[in-house]
Amino acid sequence: MASDLIEYRPGAGDYAYTFGGRPAVRHVRPGDLISMYTEDCFGGVVRSTDDLPSRVCNFPFLNPVTGPFHVDGAEPGDTLALHFVEIAPARDWAVTTTLPHFGALTSTHTTATLQEPLEERVWKYDVDAAAGVVRYHASRSGHTVELPLSPMHGTVGVAPAAGEARMTITPDAHGGNMDTPELRAGVTVYLGVNVDGALFAIGDGHCRQGEGEVTGAAVEAAMNTVVAVDLIKGVGTPWPRLESDDALLSTGSARPLEDAFRISQHDLVTWSAGLTGLDTLDAYQLIAQAGQAPVGNVVDTNYTMVAKVAKKYLTAVGAAAAYDGVHERLRALGRQYLSSR
């Protein structure tokens, strides 16, 4: 597998705000590494605690993504593998906000009430990459708290099926704004291909995020991100899946939240049954006792749940490597890249 390193830094007008409905910004091939810049979910215009999003942002043009990239050879029915080699904050600060009628502890445009919205407020975090921390500053007192730096991408996806174009803020079967802290460096994401070229895009870097993203925004940051690309021909993937060195993970994005849970668990059960040869109810039983359910987001237009199982429990019953070992190969490619830099 020949591997090119492609550098891509979008200009001001190059960002996408939908998955689907946009031409590719660049062609890449399976095996390529892409080093890209991604802007934060506010388009980089919230830079101080005075920059309220309702004043400085241009709704609905939030959550810009870098891409879409056209993967040569990708066709509907294939699976795209994106391995996140590195996710590095591009600035020494990050921002986050409460937004009017957005978040879990407020009424919203769909959970509509007649109450007044919460106050809109911006918090600015220090990002200290060397120390591996971000620093919270309370807005109404002098308190600070250091939290571990744990970079991730909230948004990754491909063009949806059926000719749809979806706002980047929406997570669904095509990926999108899943906002799961599980999507960090060292992880491979699998996405079912719906259109020729797959047309994937990435954005919404977070220096860290609590589970559920309860305010509606994480520690939002521009990122310098490196991904390795591969393609599994002729193998479909119904909902986005993740693989780390230790675990397999299925996602589901829907409302109400229990449906997101059902999708993710159903996919992990049937995926595990397929890899192990276990009877479906036996796989259901094993996941029920061995599985985890890390919450993604409970704030976006769909909510996201993740179902997770340690690989060791599946290999104990003879599981094959997922997607014929793509993760291990891309992981090695990523390590080689990082060590050669």
**Residues between 150 and 179 with contacts to a second copy, criterion CB under 8 A:** 161-167
Instruction: Kindly state whether residue 60 participates in binding a second copy, applying the rule CB under 8 A.
Output: yes
- Dihedral-angle region of residue 332 (phi above 0 means left; psi in -120 to 50 means alpha; beta otherwise): alpha
Distance of CA 140 to the CA centre of its chain: 32
Q: CB of 314: closest distance to a second copy in angstroms?
A: 9
3-class secondary-structure state, position 276: helix
Beta-bridge mates of residue 249? 242, 308
Nearer to a second copy, 32 or 204 (CB): 204
Which tokens in the block code for residue 38? 């991604």
Pick out residues in 89-118 that bind a second copy (CB under 8 A). Answer: 96, 98, 104-107, 109-118
Instruction: Kindly state whether residue 269 participates in binding a second copy, applying the rule CB under 8 A.
Output: yes
- Dihedral-angle region of residue 169 (phi above 0 means left; psi in -120 to 50 means alpha; beta otherwise): alpha
Closest CA to 307 of 297, 293, 322: 293
Nearer to a second copy, 59 or 340 (CB): 59
Q: CB of 164: closest distance to a second copy in angstroms?
A: 5
Q: Let me know: does 229 contact 28? Beta carbons within 8 Å.
A: yes
Closest CA to 126 of 89, 87, 88, 94: 94
Instruction: Kindly state whether residue 250 participates in binding a second copy, applying the rule CB under 8 A.
Output: no
Pick out residues in 305-334 that bind a second copy (CB under 8 A). Answer: 305, 313, 316-318
Residue reference for tokens 């299925």: 250
Which one of 82-90, 182-190, 294-302, 321-329 is the stretch in contact with a second copy (CB under 8 A)?
A: 294-302
Q: Let me know: does 307 contact 258? Beta carbons within 8 Å.
A: no
Amino acid identity at 179:
D
Distance CA 323, CA 241 (A): 11
Instruction: Kindly state whether residue 338 participates in binding a second copy, applying the rule CB under 8 A.
Output: no
Nearer to a second copy, 103 or 334 (CB): 103
Nearer to a second copy, 225 or 253 (CB): 253
Q: CB of 117: closest distance to a second copy in angstroms?
A: 7
Nearer to a second copy, 187 or 273 (CB): 273
Pick out residues in 182-211 that bind a second copy (CB under 8 A). Answer: 208-211
First to last CA, the chain: 20
Nearer to a second copy, 85 or 283 (CB): 283
Nearer to a second copy, 1 or 105 (CB): 105
Pick out residues in 118-137 that bind a second copy (CB under 8 A). Answer: 118-119, 121, 123, 134, 136
Instruction: Kindly state whether residue 17 participates in binding a second copy, applying the rule CB under 8 A.
Output: yes
Which one of 43-51, 74-82, 228-236, 262-270 is the stretch in contact with a second copy (CB under 8 A)?
A: 262-270
Which tokens in the block code for residue 227? 């991904």
